[in-house]
């Protein structure tokens, strides 16, 4: 039996789960995480390129691509800056 240590061990453990299981574990009731996932999926569906070589890893589903990007720390949620308009 081979014991794996470090990031490889975590990656193998993550990939053992189904996509719905990984989504549920990541979101875990967090509104912010749900928003991040939704925004990234929308960008991918509208034509943005994945931030990793999804083709090489045989991943075509935009939901899974977005989740993998988030799991790898490639995207983060940034608050939109709202310009305050002067009142007269």
Model confidence pLDDT, tens digit, residues 27-58: 777 788 888 889 999 999 999 999 999 999 99
pLDDT digit string, tens, across residues 66-88:
989 988 989 887 777 777 777 77
Distance CA 77, CA 3 (A): 35
pLDDT in the model for residue 62: 96
Give me the half-sphere count of Cα atoms (radius 13 Å) on the Cβ side of residue 68: 21
> How is residue 51 annotated by DSSP?
S
Other C-beta atoms closer than 10 Å to the C-beta of 37 total 21
Q: State yes or no: pLDDT of 65 exceeds 80.
A: yes
Rounded-to-integer distance, Cα 37 and Cα 27, Å? 9
- Ordered by start, the domain boundaries in the chain are 11-71
């Amino acid at each position: 039996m081979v014991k794996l240590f470090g990031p490889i061990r975590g990656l193998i453990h993550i990939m053992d789960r189904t996509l719905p299981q990984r989504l549920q574990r990541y979101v875990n009731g967090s509104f912010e995480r749900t928003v991040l996932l939704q925004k990234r999926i929308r960008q991918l569906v509208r034509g943005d390129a994945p931030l990793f070589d999804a083709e090489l890893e045989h991943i075509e589903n935009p939901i899974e691509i977005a989740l993998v990007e988030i799991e790898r720390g490639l995207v983060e949620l940034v608050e939109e800056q709202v310009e305050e308009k002067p009142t007269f």
